[in-house]
Structure 1
Amino acid sequence: MKQEVIPFTGYQKLVIFLLAITQFTVILDFMVMSPLGDILMKSMALQPKAFGFAVSAYAFSAGISGLLTAGFADRFDRKKLLLFFYIGFIAGTIFCGLAHTYAELVAARIITGLFGGVIGSISMAIITDIFNLQQRGRVMGFVQMGFGASQVLGVPIGLALANKWNWEAPFFMIAGLAIVIAIIIIVKLQPVNLHLAIQKDKSVFLHLWHTVRKRKHRIGFMATALLSIGGFMMMPFGSAFAINNLKISNEQLVLLFTISGLCSLLIMPAIGRLSDRVSKFKIFAIASTWMMIMCVIYTNLGATPFWLVVVLNILMMMGIMSRMVPSSALTSAVPDMADRGAFMSINSSLQQIAGGVAAAVSGLIVVQKTQFSPLENYNIVGYLIIVISIISILLMYRVSKLVADKTIKTDVIKDEVFISE
């Protein structure tokens, strides 16, 4: 059934732009570790297990940070929260560029995760406060274009800088861009504080407990966690697999990320518009099924012509990206306004922790005998993704039912108020 498409106001468009470009830097900071993987593993003589831990260190610290701040998330102006954590993220990214040993790099990633991991949940809370459900599919599509933009612009530029000045250079680039964005947020973004007027819990711990104990929230949390595990398992070793197994060059790797990211930029808004018109769950289920098929094909490849690697990568990214938008839109509709900040913080924490678990587990599964030999057992990761994705579809179906029931109840209340008037 088609739904009415509600247009955006001028200020809403500005908010979308600011949140999208903020997400661009945060996602790029996390994403750039994967294409830098082969360079880092060779320059620091790291085994897959050690590199997997370096990736997961960010995710685990981000998850812990989100849980610690969840009780406070609905007690402050969301603009101030966004700026506080974004400035901390900038500092952590600078420390990553200054790291010279493996231990320093892990410590810097932990610091960056402590601040960067909360930004996504704050952005989601801002989106949910400013935009209604009929607009959120498009909003999620634009904001999550940061994922595609990070591949089109950030990753290729970061790889080029890394090839010229070593792996530290991309982190300085991200920090410089983020400083400019922070200044724009200070000047342009209005306070987001309507939720403060309806906050009921006096204790932050009580508010956190009330958010966790709700059954509908726990269903949303479980769906997000499993979705993240399935999405992150392949990511840490993507570049190492492409170079050592598919036999593409570093120059071709830059082009591969550019093309894949460009396709993501085109896919995300289209899926966002589609999810506002038809069933979000159906889009999610179809995209997940498509992704499972492509993951199995891709992880079982050997030496492959570059053009075929590009085609298969695009097809796989279509599935991955197309399930992100509807799942985010559905999950955002689960909490009420008074609980949104806490819910989004906990949800983001579980997403990050699940991603850390996925990176660590894939690091234990994947084996590389020497720095230049092919990765082994990468196809096992693909098979695990299938199992996890099937469970994710079942959980997301329950989330979609919760959202549908909530929408019906809201409409009934509005009708009763209208009749009484």
Structure 2
Amino acid sequence: MKQNTEKIPFSAYQKFVIFILAVTQFTVILDFMVMSPMGDLMMKALNLKTSQFGFAVSAYAFSAGVSGLLTAGFADKYDRKKLLLFFYTGFILGTIFCGLADSYELLIAARIITGLFGGVIGSVSMAIMADLFDIHHRGRVMGFIQMGFGASQVLGVPISLYIANYWGWHLPFIMVAGLAALVLVLIVVKLQPVTKHLEVKNDKNVFLHLWHTLADRNYRIGFLSTALLSIGGFMMMPFGSAFAVNNLHIPQDKLFILFMMSGVSSLVIMPLIGKFSDKVDKFILFAIASSWMAVMVVIYTNLSVTPLWLVIIFNVLMMMGIMSRMIPSSALTTSLPEMKDRGAFMSINSSLQQIAGGIAAAFAGMVVVQKTKTSPLEHYNTLGYIIVGVSVLSILMIYRVSVIVKNKLKEKVV
């Protein structure tokens, strides 16, 4: 039976929901993403080794993962708006703490606090999205929501780098917290309660609900798929700026151009891929994008001294693959859970994503070596080869997710 993929205009409120989820993602992603481009600055300012910085990045991810698992059983018991407000408020306070940290130990503590709250926001946002939009339009919605990633690179990361270069690495965190506070006000005033999932009868207590969600075989396939995707993303990211500065010889004050151009490409690519993924087989799109990304990752991680314009081209081409696989994979995995399990599924999924990413970032910090503060990074290309292997496994797992989702849709038609 042919799927109904006719483009239906979104209502004014639906557009607001898409906007508020996108801008919420923007602030959370920016808080996390800004660590990477400021990596070279922070390692020099705090006299950190690559292993220490890798742990600083993974501290957020590990705490976010633990928080998600602890809250998963409660995720379907409350109004999703209230959950979003609670965790977003904690995220803002943690980000302020990051801006006030003046030592490695305080930075680690601040990142743990921020992760405890920030790591749950993505799963709550995805649950809200899945509640309000059906699968045939989620690709389009995901395309816009994931623009928060591109916007963080177009606006947030370049501005943060500029500010950090002149006023220090602390101020960008305060800037993110200020913006997030404005978003919090919008959520309080404009977002309606999201309670439709509460109408579905569910007598399980929170621990049984968590266990039954983890015990579902189809859900576990989705969890593993997301974890593999996260491993690939987190390996390269923490040392992206250090590699660009010390290996490719991109001047620190020109680094924002590299991130800005990558972000611009993401803003263009995301909506197009979102619309395209609603018209073609999502798995095929994911497989093509993953293969393209793997090729570009190997090329990029093996570069030596390279002109800025050429680095930008390679970086944009690599981002095309990364962005083009995020949307179809997210659209498929969010279609796995039943509505009564959606909050728990999203929380566990986000937790495993963060934990896997934290392990990848910590592992990358042990693989990559920098002998002095200004010497080139060694073994960065080793990470590229590992990512290729993980990408192959990701394709196999997303294929299994795709089969489950298609069978689920056929059963509903019947």
> TM-score category by the smaller chain?
over 0.9
Q: Tell me the equivalent position of 1:82.
A: 84
Instruction: Write the distance in 1 (CA, Å) between the matches of 2:328 and 2:8.
Output: 17
Alpha-carbon deviation of 1:320? 0.4
Instruction: Write the distance in 2 (CA, Å) between the matches of 1:208 and 1:178.
Output: 30
1:361 is aligned, of 360, 363, 376, to 363
Corresponding residue SS for 2:249: coil
| Contact 1:6–1:134, Cα closer than 8 Å, also in 2 | no
Question: 1:181-260 counterparts in 2 under 5 A?
Answer: 181-260=183-262
Instruction: Write the distance in 1 (CA, Å) between the matches of 2:8 and 2:99.
Output: 43
Q: Tell me the equivalent position of 1:279.
A: 281
Kindly indicate whether residue 169 of structure 2 is the aligned counterpart of residue 167 of structure 1: yes
Q: Tell me the equivalent position of 1:416.
A: none
| Contact 2:68–2:120, Cα closer than 8 Å, also in 1 | yes
| Contact 1:288–1:319, Cα closer than 8 Å, also in 2 | yes
Question: 1:15-30 counterparts in 2 under 5 A?
Answer: 15-30=17-32
Instruction: Write the distance in 2 (CA, Å) between the matches of 1:350 and 1:31.
Output: 19
1:10 is aligned, of 9, 12, 16, to 12
| Contact 2:154–2:259, Cα closer than 8 Å, also in 1 | yes
Question: 1:88-103 counterparts in 2 under 5 A?
Answer: 88-103=90-105
Deviations 1:172-195 (A, max 9, x none): 000000000000000000000011
- Over the aligned positions, Cα root-mean-square deviation in angstroms equals 0.8
Q: Tell me the equivalent position of 1:270.
A: 272
Q: Tell me the equivalent position of 1:36.
A: 38
Q: Tell me the equivalent position of 2:325.
A: 323
Q: Tell me the equivalent position of 1:156.
A: 158
| Contact 1:280–1:326, Cα closer than 8 Å, also in 2 | yes
Q: Tell me the equivalent position of 2:292.
A: 290
Instruction: Write the distance in 2 (CA, Å) between the matches of 1:355 and 1:199.
Output: 34
| Contact 1:224–1:350, Cα closer than 8 Å, also in 2 | yes
Instruction: Write the distance in 1 (CA, Å) between the matches of 2:240 and 2:12.
Output: 39
Instruction: Write the distance in 1 (CA, Å) between the matches of 2:254 and 2:94.
Output: 30
Deviations 1:106-141 (A, max 9, x none): 000000000000000000000010000011001111
Instruction: Write the distance in 2 (CA, Å) between the matches of 1:125 and 1:303.
Output: 44
Gapped regions of structure 1 (runs ≥ 5):
413-421
Alpha-carbon deviation of 1:7? 2.7
Kindly indicate whether residue 343 of structure 2 is the aligned counterpart of residue 345 of structure 1: no
User: Structure 2: which amino acid aligns with 1:242?
Assistant: A
User: Structure 1: which amino acid aligns with 2:262?
Assistant: S
TM-score for both structures, normalised by structure 1: 0.97
2:385 is aligned, of 383, 386, 391, to 383
Alpha-carbon deviation of 1:259? 0.7
Corresponding residue SS for 2:278: helix
Deviations 1:239-287 (A, max 9, x none): 0000000000112211111111011000000000000111111111000
| Contact 1:152–1:258, Cα closer than 8 Å, also in 2 | yes
Instruction: Write the distance in 1 (CA, Å) between the matches of 2:190 and 2:388.
Output: 44
Deviations 1:33-83 (A, max 9, x none): 000100000001101000000000000000000000000000000000000
| Contact 1:74–1:199, Cα closer than 8 Å, also in 2 | no
User: Structure 2: which amino acid aligns with 1:253?
Assistant: L
Alpha-carbon deviation of 1:10? 1.6
User: Structure 2: which amino acid aligns with 1:318?
Assistant: M
User: Structure 2: which amino acid aligns with 1:181?
Assistant: V
User: Structure 1: which amino acid aligns with 2:142?
Assistant: M
Q: Tell me the equivalent position of 1:63.
A: 65
Corresponding residue SS for 1:72: coil
Alpha-carbon deviation of 1:297? 0.3
TM-score for both structures, normalised by structure 2: 0.99
Alpha-carbon deviation of 1:164? 1.3
User: Structure 1: which amino acid aligns with 2:149?
Assistant: F
User: Structure 2: which amino acid aligns with 1:39?
Assistant: L
Kindly indicate whether residue 111 of structure 2 is the aligned counterpart of residue 109 of structure 1: yes
Which runs of 4 or more aligned residues in structure 1 lie more than 2 Å from their structure 2 counterparts after TM superposition? 1-7
Alpha-carbon deviation of 1:229? 0.2
User: Structure 2: which amino acid aligns with 1:110?
Assistant: I
Corresponding residue SS for 2:303: coil
Corresponding residue SS for 2:387: helix
| Contact 2:165–2:253, Cα closer than 8 Å, also in 1 | no
User: Structure 2: which amino acid aligns with 1:229?
Assistant: I
The farther-off stretch of 108-117 and 7-16 is 7-16
Corresponding residue SS for 1:212: helix
Identity %: 68
The count of corresponding residues between Structure 1 and Structure 2 is 412
Question: 1:40-55 counterparts in 2 under 5 A?
Answer: 40-55=42-57
Alpha-carbon deviation of 1:4? 2.6
User: Structure 2: which amino acid aligns with 1:92?
Assistant: G
User: Structure 1: which amino acid aligns with 2:116?
Assistant: L
Corresponding residue SS for 1:33: coil
Instruction: Write the distance in 1 (CA, Å) between the matches of 2:338 and 2:10.
Output: 22
Gapped regions of structure 2 (runs ≥ 5):
none
